[in-house]
């Protein structure tokens, strides 16, 4: 009977775990809906701004070098911005982003890393804890903006990164994060944040369009380009937030299914053990009766 008691305790424990994972799944699903709406509404706006900046940048290449965010310098110092989550229970969401950042460190920027010129900018507790445990150089750490990401809270951090580039502290700033595709799929992204990368068009194959700028191209460069860069950083955080909720919902769904299957298996084992125990008791009674007769 001790074995039966242990199985009953284990069934109760797994059932409690299933209740927790099921509740976490529903919470993640509710958060996913809000996060998904935010990033899907943001993407068309960000893409259109990027298209405008590409047009402006092509005009600037003809002699206008006022865009301090597009200056390409020899790559000596690199800053990798790693975006993870504050909490776990989301499958391989954090570990994949961390592995991608470390792979980037040891491949594309291996030479700069050997010279000690590659630093990390951690956003999210999970990435920060890993980097500190492995003693990677972390120059800054933020986690508060991930709880309720908004442009007002993200803008100062984006400006901080932009200032580091303009002041020459870093020649390249890279973003590493999970991009939201759907609830079950997250796409790892290594994206150059600064210097500003714009799409190049082959004007031999297509007709070039010239724009008239109002009030002036200088005002667009000084006002619009910083906003676009900040918006791209905000979009990366929204992408990561939606991807995190999708990964957590999927992980909790699988955990709930696994707990249900484990309860089924344990219940079957319990019933078999109980049946064998009853059979043994019947045999003992029968044998005892036969012994009394003899």
The answer to whether 237 touches 189, Cβ cutoff 8 Å, is: no
Domain ranges of the chain: 21-251
Per-position pLDDT tens, the chain of length 294: 558 889 999 999 999 999 999 999 999 999 999 999 999 898 888 888 777 777 666 665 544 556 788 888 999 999 999 999 999 999 999 999 999 999 999 999 999 999 999 999 999 999 999 999 999 999 999 999 888 889 999 999 999 999 999 999 999 999 999 999 988 899 999 999 999 876 655 544 455 556 677 777 777 777 888 988 999 999 999 999 999 999 999 999 999 999 999 999 999 999 998 888 888 888 888 888 888 887
* pTM as predicted: 0.85
- For residues 236 and 39, give the distance between their C-alpha atoms in angstroms, rounded to a whole number: 9
The span from the CA of 68 to the CA of 195, in Å, is 9
Res 204: pLDDT:
47
The long-range contacts involving 110-118, CB below 8 angstroms and separated by at least 24 positions, are: 112/75, 112/76, 112/77, 112/78, 115/76, 117/76, 117/77, 117/78, 118/77, 118/78, 118/79, 118/80
* Widest CA span in the chain: 116
Strands annotated E in the chain: 78-83, 118-123, 138-142, 172-182, 185-194
User: What are the strands, taking DSSP E only, across 151-281?
Assistant: 172-182, 185-194
d(CA 38, CA 151): 12
In CATH, which of 3.40.50.300, 3.40.1670.10, 3.40.605.10, 3.40.1380.10 is domain 21-251?
3.40.1380.10
Q: Could you tell me which of 235, 103, 108 has the C-alpha nearest to residue 179? A: 235
Query: Measured between alpha carbons, how far is 50 from 55 in angstroms, rounded to an integer?
Result: 9
Q: Check residue 133 and give its pLDDT.
A: 96
Instruction: Give the chain's end-to-end CA distance (angstroms, integer).
Output: 31
Neighbours of 104 (CB within 10 A): 19
pLDDT at 11: 93
List, in order, residues 6 or more apart from 143 with CB less than 8 Å away.
86, 123, 124, 125, 128
**Do residues 94 and 85 make contact, with C-beta atoms less than 8 angstroms apart?**
yes
Per-residue burial over 33-42, b = 16 or more CB atoms within 10 Å of its CB, e = otherwise: eebbebbeeb
């Amino acid at each position: 009977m001790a074995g039966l008691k242990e199985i009953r305790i284990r069934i109760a424990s797994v059932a409690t775990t299933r209740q927790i994972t099921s509740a976490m799944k529903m919470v993640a699903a509710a958060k996913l809906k809000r996060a998904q709406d935010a990033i899907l509404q943001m993407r068309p706006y960000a893409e259109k701004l990027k298209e405008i900046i590409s047009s402006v940048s092509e005009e600037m290449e003809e002699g206008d070098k006022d865009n301090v965010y597009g200056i390409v310098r020899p790559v000596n110092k690199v800053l990798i911005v790693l975006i993870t989550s504050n909490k776990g229970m989301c499958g391989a969401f954090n570990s994949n982003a961390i592995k991608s950042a470390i792979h980037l460190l040891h491949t594309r920027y291996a030479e700069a890393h050997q010279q000690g010129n590659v630093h990390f900018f951690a956003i999210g507790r999970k990435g920060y804890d890993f980097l500190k445990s492995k003693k990677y150089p972390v120059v800054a750490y933020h986690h508060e903006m991930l709880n309720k990401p908004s442009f007002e809270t993200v803008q100062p951090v984006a400006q901080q990164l932009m200032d580091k580039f303009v002041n020459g502290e870093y020649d390249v700033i890279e973003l590493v994060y999970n991009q939201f595709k759907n609830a079950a799929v997250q796409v790892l992204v290594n994206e150059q944040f600064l210097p500003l990368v714009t799409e190049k068009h082959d004007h031999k194959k297509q007709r070039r369009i010239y724009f008239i700028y109002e009030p002036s191209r200088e005002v667009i460069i000084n006002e619009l380009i910083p906003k676009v860069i900040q918006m791209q950083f905000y979009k990366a955080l929204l992408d990561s937030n939606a991807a995190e909720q999708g990964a957590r919902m999927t992980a909790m769904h699988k955990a709930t299914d696994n707990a249900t299957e484990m309860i089924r298996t344990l219940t079957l084992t319990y019933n078999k053990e109980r049946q064998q125990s009853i059979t043994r008791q019947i045999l003992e009674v029968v044998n005892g009766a036969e012994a009394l007769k003899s």
